Structure 1
Amino acid sequence: MTEQRERGVDAGQWTSGNQIERDLVLTDADFARIRELIYQRAGIVLAEHKREMVYSRLAKRLRHHNMTRFTDYLVRLERQPEAKEWEAFTNALTTNLTAFFREAHHFPLLAEHIRHKQGPVTIWCSAASTGEEPYSLAMTLLETLGPKAAQAKIIATDIDTDALSRARAGIYPQEQVRKLDEARVKRFFQKGTGQHQGLARVRPEVSELVEFMPLNLLAPQWPVKGPFDAIFCRNIMIYFDKETQAKILKRFAPLMKPDGLLFAGHSENFSYISDAFKLRGQTVYTRA
Structure 2
Amino acid sequence: MSGSAARSVRQGFEFTDQDFSRLRELVYRHTGIRMADNRRDLIYGRLSRRLRALGLRSFGAYCRLIEDGHNDELEAFTNAVTTNLTAFFREAHHFDYLAETLIPELLKRNRDSRRIRLWSAGCSTGEEPYTLAMILRESIPDIHNWDVRILATDLDSEVLLKASAGVYEQQNIEGVLGSRLKRWFRKGTGTNKGKARVVPQLQELITFGKLNLMEGWPMKGPFDVIFCRNVLIYFDKPTQKKLFDRFADILVQKGHLFIGHSESPMDLTDRFALIGQSIYKKNR
The two structures have a TM-score, normalised by structure 2, of 0.91
Post-superposition offset of 1:20: 7.6
Structure 1: tracts of 5 or more residues without a match: 1-18
Q: Which residue of 2 aligns with 1:156?
A: 152
Q: Percent identity?
A: 47
Give SS of 2:262's match. coil
The 8 Å contact of residues 173 and 200 in structure 1, kept in 2 or not, is answered as yes
RMSD: 1.4
Post-superposition offset of 1:264: 0.7
Number of equivalences: 268
2:240 equivalent among 218, 221, 245:
245
Aligned ranges for residues 95-114 of structure 1 at < 5 Å?
A: 95-111=83-99, 112-114=101-103
Q: Which residue of 2 aligns with 1:123?
A: 118
Structure 2 residue 44 is matched with structure 1 residue 55: yes
The 8 Å contact of residues 114 and 121 in structure 1, kept in 2 or not, is answered as no
Structure 2 residue 172 is matched with structure 1 residue 171: no
Q: Which residue of 2 aligns with 1:35?
A: 24
Give SS of 2:14's match. coil
The 8 Å contact of residues 103 and 266 in structure 1, kept in 2 or not, is answered as no
Structure 2 residue 281 is matched with structure 1 residue 286: yes
The 8 Å contact of residues 156 and 212 in structure 1, kept in 2 or not, is answered as yes
2:79 equivalent among 91, 94, 97:
91
The 8 Å contact of residues 122 and 228 in structure 2, kept in 1 or not, is answered as yes
Post-superposition offset of 1:174: 1.3
Aligned AA (1:191): K
The two structures have a TM-score, normalised by structure 1, of 0.90
4+ residue segments displaced more than 6 Å: none
Q: Which residue of 2 aligns with 1:211?
A: 207
1:135 equivalent among 119, 124, 130:
130
The 8 Å contact of residues 161 and 214 in structure 1, kept in 2 or not, is answered as yes
Please give the alpha-carbon distance, in whole angstroms, between the structure 1 residues aligned to 2:178 and 2:132: 18
Q: Which residue of 1 aligns with 2:176?
A: 180
The 8 Å contact of residues 9 and 15 in structure 2, kept in 1 or not, is answered as no
Give SS of 1:146's match. coil
The 8 Å contact of residues 238 and 268 in structure 1, kept in 2 or not, is answered as yes
Please give the alpha-carbon distance, in whole angstroms, between the structure 1 residues aligned to 2:249 and 2:263: 21
Aligned ranges for residues 220-259 of structure 1 at < 5 Å?
A: 221-259=216-254
Q: Which residue of 2 aligns with 1:192?
A: 188
Structure 2: tracts of 5 or more residues without a match: 1-7
Aligned AA (1:99): A
